[in-house]
Amino acid sequence: MGFGFQNFYSFLTILILISSCLHHIAAKSLHIRQRHGSKAKGCNLYQGSWVKDSSPLYDTSSCPFIDKMFDCQKNGRPDKLYLNYRWKPTSCDLPRFNGKDFLRRFQGKKILFVGDSLTNNQWQSLICMLHSSVPQAKYNLKLNDPFSTCTFPDYGLSLMFNHNNLLVDIVNESVGRVLKLNSITNGDSWKNVDVLIVNTWHWWFYTGSLQPFDYIQDGNNRYKDMDRMVAYEKGLNTWAKWVESNINPAKTKVIFRGITSFHYDGREWDQPNETCKGKTQPVRGSRYPGGPLPAGAVVKRVLSKMSKPVELQDVMTLSQLRIDGHPSLYGINGVDCTHWCLAGVPDTWNQLLYASFVLGQ
């Protein structure tokens, strides 16, 4: 007897169901990889340690883009050992940054960094890395606050920085500056880019003269202050909703650069009464004695609830280990243990950014 039309139809139906299930599993797997950051064949690029290397990715004296506050060598920092460390993941190799390849990959594209002065740190770093790869290439630099742009006309690449400390709105009202936890009205400039790299953290926790707001509004309720970690999570959730409503993942890749650390309290790395001042070497090993910062868990919790893929650039631990990487006395304002020297740690953030594209995450 023959196989029969009815049996063939049943067999074909089963094949279609299996194919659909496999497609769903593959899509779900890709979404999880995109959400949780760069992993190459099971290797977490963010788990590792700092090892000595031969040289930095560029000579700071030949990069015209570095702000005075980040230019530690020009400001007289006497040691150079901090320039000669390379991030080494535990179970694999971090792809070497290739500026020419980066420019080819993003020919005709727009990359936008949104955040505070630490995001500016990363933006300037990437421009220096690309400029050193093609030093003869033309560039146009326009520095404005809150929006700055560097373009490489030969490649049609635009690298933009939007200075925005909190992402959500601060509105001047009769009572003073009101932080609106549920409102983003300035997000139009974040649309229609190919890569959107976002960070916010430090400014949520400042008090006194550095605090950028006088009141906090949550819904219809206004407070003189509130638990800052709670406020931070509410603000991040507002940003997440903005992404869900305004970003097309087929057009724009969204990356949240993770939390980075202050180094004003030596108890965190088992040196009480110390700061970053005078530090010339990283904390050894792959574990930071002070442990992860609580805000890092908040970021992961918010991203995990999003339906659209957002990659977490989880640079918290690798940055915590670099107690030697800050301007310290060689910035512009006293002892700076917040920002990072250039060349320096932000170059590694950008190596990891490049790796996420090379590895197809």
| Catalytic residue list | 117, 336, 339
Residue 274, burial from CB neighbour count under 10 angstroms (0-12, 13-18, 19+): middle
Q: How many CB atoms lie within 10 A of CB 133?
A: 17
In whole angstroms, what is the distance from residue 224 CA to residue 218 CA?
A: 11
Which 3 state secondary structure label does DSSP give 342? coil
What tokens were used for 272?
A: 């009480």
| Residues 45 and 355: beta-carbon distance below 8 Å | yes
What tokens were used for 10?
A: 């049943």
The alpha carbon of residue 332 and the mean position of all alpha carbons in its chain are separated, in whole angstroms, by: 24
DSSP states along 48-113: EEEEE-S--SS-GGG-TT--GGG-TTTTT----GGGGEEEEESSS-PPPP-HHHHHHHTTT-EEEE
In whole angstroms, what is the distance from residue 132 CA to residue 333 CA?
A: 28
DSSP states along 160-216: EEEE-SSSSEEEEETTEEEEETT-----GGGSS-SEEEE---GGGS--GGG---SEE
How many CA atoms does the CB half-sphere of 79 hold within 13 Å?
A: 16
Helical axes 294-304 vs 228-246, angle rounded to 10°: 30
In whole angstroms, what is the distance from residue 256 CA to residue 247 CA?
A: 14
